[in-house]
Structure 1
Amino acid sequence: MKNRLISLDVLRGLTIMLMTVVNNPGDWGNVFPPFLHAEWHGCTPTDLVFPTFLLIVGISAVLAMPTRKNTPEVRQKILIRTLRIFTLGWFLFFFSKIHIGSLEGLPLLGVRLLITAVVSAALFTEYDRKKQLYVVSGIFLGMIVLAFGGFEDYSTVRIPGVLQRIAVVYAVISFLYLNTTPRTQAIIAAGLLLLYWGLMTLVPVPGFGPANLEKGTNLAGWVDNLLLPGHLWASAKTWDPEGILSTLPAIATGIAGLLTGWLLQRPVPAQAKAVNLLLAGAGGIIAGWLWGQVFPINKSLWTSSYVLYAAGWGVVSLAVLYYLIDVKGWKAWTKPFVMFGVNPMIVFFFSGIVPRVLTAIKVGDPADPSKEISLQSFLYKHQLAPLFADPRAASLSWALLYLLFWFGVVYVLYRRGVVVKV
């Protein structure tokens, strides 16, 4: 864990911690507003989580490859990492759809967990790179066959997702970083944001009429439904918040990370770096807000104004952390956040598996012995929620207890010096 930028690890840790909390309320019907996404246009603290991840991906690409060696080995490493991240994210959507013959209940859950153990071991473990490429590619191609090979159980498995978008953005910006200058990267980012703005506000939507930014009738949603019918977000079915067209501006978010990494590498005093980061972040917030007056800030559409606004807040956060930790040397408080920050993928992946397991386990319903409910519902509704007068406080308490559980996991990994990379 030597030679890491502690402020970046802390920002990554804070982001993964907030993600764990907002993704795991006890009751989605009772959540404090800051822990919910904006209903459509607008931005809440929760809406800043994902773009901050992408920003960090870009920064990390610069810090991990300071010499920019564009060799076959480096390109292969990027390809393997891309496939690993994409496959991990996609497997989360496969987990609950896995069926073997007539197996049901705990036996079926056992099979799903066994398959998860095999897949995660293959994707998280470091071994010979050539062998790793074959193994990861094999798993990825196997999932493609299941999704598109006429197998009913997997015919509606979602394809886009958070890790999938991270994988695509990582691949694109890594090759941009290896082959272009910061100036060219900034021009490409600006071009992507302007292109997306033009597409979303000027191009008529087939079957719906003039360009618009409404749910399900905008151009991004039309492209999603055209290219990935039946494989989209279950809550919408006809469009996806991590869809195809909106990945273009998401790449610009990753490029903002590259440019931030470049600022961190400039040969200037640390205090000047902090000031430069603060000014750049503030500029992004202001520019995003201003653009948002005509192209609304919207996380689901990943609008160009949202890219600037969210990246701005991410860079400002890093500037503050960099000043406090790397300039002033105030590091005593950072360890809990660093623990999450050095092992984010373990938390991301398995914190998505655990709720699926708790939902799959059925127990008797104390309110109606003739019925069964999930173990998660039993623990929350009949054990935790009755302790609180405010259902929103109960819901948040469940999320915080879940975060505490993961703190125990990352604490053990940290104490043993285990850093799981993907």
Structure 2
Amino acid sequence: MKNRLLSLDVLRGLTIMLMTIVNNPGSWEHVYPPLLHAEWHGCTPTDLVFPTFLFIVGITTVLSTPRRVLTSGTFQRLLTRALRIFSLGLFLNFFSKITFFGLTGLPLLGIRLALTALVVVALFGEYDKKRQLYVALGIFALMMLLAFGGFEAYSTVRIPGVLQRIALVYLLVSLLYLTTSTATQVLMGVAILLIYWALMTLVPVPGFGPANLDKGINLAAWLDNLLLPGHLWSVSKTWDPEGLLSTLPAVATGIAGLLTGTLLQSTLSKNQKTAYLLAAALGGIALGWLWGTVFPINKALWTSSYVLYAAGLALLVLGTLYWIIDLRGYTRWTLPFVIFGLNPIVVFFFSGVIPRVLGSIQVPSPAQPESVSLQSYLYDFRLVPHFSNPLQASLAWALLYLLFWFVILYVLYRRRLVFKV
């Protein structure tokens, strides 16, 4: 990547490592509070993972763009990449709903894994650019047809998701970077935050009454349920934390990354860049906290205050890493983080597949006549007995899973294999 920054690679790796830990506890009933999302309003370290990744998407958009010119070829490349990322996320939501002529158990799991391999190979096969776009568009269209075409098995498959939001933000901020000036990006970022605040706090919610920020009955939830009924987050069913309206301020998070990338690519000295990064960090944290007193910091709603607060904290970590690594030159400790940051989409996608696989395989239970999933067997009967505290056992499972991924990613690193979407 042009103008690659080691501090940015470390931030990306740190983000992916934290994502791996918080997404894979041994038991969701026993998790240390900082490793859980805030119940509603508020912010935990876990709530900072996703916005930091979108922030990094904005930065890398700047650093990886050699020419700020939008051509038909460039647009085709951007659209293809966005469709690939969106389709990967959508396929994760389809995985556990795939049926095949009444098969169950291991035969059905084999079909699901075969389809996973087929989708991955099809999306990332070596084709000419036009065929890559057609294949990505075809896979996306097929899944949307299954979801909305009256097929009962897929009538409740979730459409939004983390990768889906990443795809949309990537496409929009890339187009914005290629077609507008930095000043225009600042104005658009501010406008998005103000417009979203006005929509969420001033516009009455049809069927519910005055504007509100309550769970399930706010404007964002109403729009999700209106446009994607039955295709939302299974926990809530009537709203989605990666829903449609809240994707608007997520674009502002990407714009914050664009502005940061522009700063990092400038001709300013490293000392000046560090000072600007840390000053912007403190400004974002302060503004986010102040705005949060009237428009609460909320990850599920992706409130404007949350955008500023999370971007400020991401800038604080990046600025500190930039000072330590790129300015002071302390780099010997960075390798584990770099290894995790090289293949982020691979980690996210297959971290979604692996728990589904472990949950699908049934094995005899040592303590009861009924069989249990392989994940339950490994966790409940092989790991938990070694701990007296269930919180420690749950965290140990997450750390072992992190170690599992480190071994895989280290092998890829040694073989110089980087899988780009």
TM (normalized to structure 2)? Answer: 0.99
In structure 1, give the amino acid aligned to 2:378. L
**1:346 shift after superposition:** 0.6
1:387 alignment counterpart: 386
Aligned 1:3-402 pairs, distance under 5 A = 3-369=3-369, 371-402=370-401
Question: Cα distance, 1:66 vs. partner?
Answer: 4.0
Distance 1:102 1:203 in 2: 48
Q: Which consecutive residues of structure 1, in runs of 5 or more, have no partner in the other structure?
A: none
Q: Contact conserved, 2:82 with 2:167, CA < 8 A, in 1?
A: yes
Whichever residue aligns with residue 190 of structure 2, its letter is: A
d(CA) in 1 for partners of 2:371 and 2:266?
A: 60
Task: Tell me the distance in 2 between the aligned counterparts of 1:197 and 1:412.
Answer: 46
Letter in 2 for 1:72: S
The 8 Å contact of residues 241 and 301 in structure 1, kept in 2 or not, is answered as yes
Q: Is the 8 A contact 2:232 2:239 kept in 1?
A: yes
Deviation at 1:189, TM superposition (A): 0.8
Question: Does the aligned pair in 1 maintain the 2:2–2:66 contact within 8 Å?
Answer: no
Q: Deviations over 1:12-62 (max 9, x none)?
A: 000011000000000000000110000000000000000001000000000
User: Contact 1:291–1:305 (CA<8 Å) still a contact in 2?
Assistant: yes
C-alpha contact (below 8 Å) 2:3/2:63 kept by paired residues: no
Taking a change above 3 Å as real, the CA distance of residues 198 and 420 of structure 1, as seen in their structure-2 partners, is: same
1:67, CA displacement in angstroms? 2.4
Instruction: Look up the match of 2:403.
Output: 404
Q: 1:125 and 1:57 mapped to 2: Cα distance?
A: 23
Cα deviation digits, residues 282-313 of structure 1 (max 9, x gap): 11010000000000000000000000000110
CA contact (8 A) 1:124 1:420 kept: no
**What is the letter of the counterpart of residue 102 of structure 1?**
G
Q: Identify the residue that residue 418 of structure 1 maps to in structure 2.
A: 417
State how far apart, in whole Å, the 2-side matches of 1:282 and 1:68 are: 30
Partners of 2:43 and 2:252 in 1: how far apart?
Answer: 18
- Residue 211 of structure 1 aligns with an amino acid whose one-letter code is A
Alignment partners' CA distance in 1, 2:403 and 2:309: 31
Determine the C-alpha separation between the residues in 1 that align with 2:82 and 2:320.
30
Per-residue CA distance 1:400-422 (angstroms, 9 max, x = gap): 00000000111000000111001
Residue 128 (structure 1) shift: 1.7
Q: Partner of 2:364: helix, strand, or coil?
A: strand
Equivalent position amino acid for 1:392 in 2? L
Residue identity in the other structure for 1:405: F
Letter of the 1:191 counterpart: A
The aligned length equals 421
Q: Distance in 2 between matches of 1:326 and 1:78?
A: 30
Structure-2 separation of matches of 1:34 and 1:107: 39
Q: 3-state DSSP class of the match of 2:371?
A: strand
Cα offset, 1:4, TM superposition = 2.1
**Take 1:118 and 1:2, find their aligned partners in 2: how far apart are those partners?**
32
**CA contact 1:89–1:349 (8 Å) conserved in 2:** yes
User: C-alpha distance in 2, partners of 1:41/1:3?
Assistant: 38
Work out whether residues 69 and 179 of structure 2, in 8 Å CA contact, stay in contact via their aligned partners in 1. no
**Superposed displacement of residue 125, structure 1:** 4.0
Q: Distance in 2 between matches of 1:352 and 1:125?
A: 21
Q: 1:301-327, CA deviations, whole angstroms, 9 ceiling, x for partnerless residues?
A: 000000000011011111111111111
Distance in 2 separating the partners of 1:219 and 1:75: 32
- Identical counterparts, % of pairs: 67
Alpha-carbon distance in structure 1 between the residues aligned to 2:199 and 2:245: 9
Give the letter for the 1:386 counterpart.
Answer: P
**Which secondary structure does the structure 1 equivalent of 2:52 belong to?**
helix
Q: What letter corresponds to residue 235 of structure 1 in structure 2?
A: V
TM superposition shift of 1:120: 1.2
Q: Could you tell me the TM-score, scaled by structure 1's length?
A: 0.98
Deviations 1:77-125 (A, max 9, x none): 1000000010011110000111100111000000100000111122234
Deviating 4+ runs (over 3 angstroms): 124-127
**Deviation for aligned residue 1:196:** 0.6
Aligned partners of 2:162 and 2:223: how far apart in 1?
18
Does structure 1 retain, via aligned residues, the 8 Å contact 2:233–2:241?
yes
Q: Does structure 2 retain, via aligned residues, the 8 Å contact 1:252–1:307?
A: yes
More off after superposition, 274-283 vs 38-47: 274-283
Whether the 8 Å CA contact 2:155–2:230 is kept in 1: the answer is: yes
User: For residue 68 of structure 1, what is the amino acid of its counterpart?
Assistant: R
CA distance in 1, matches of 2:60, 2:125: 20
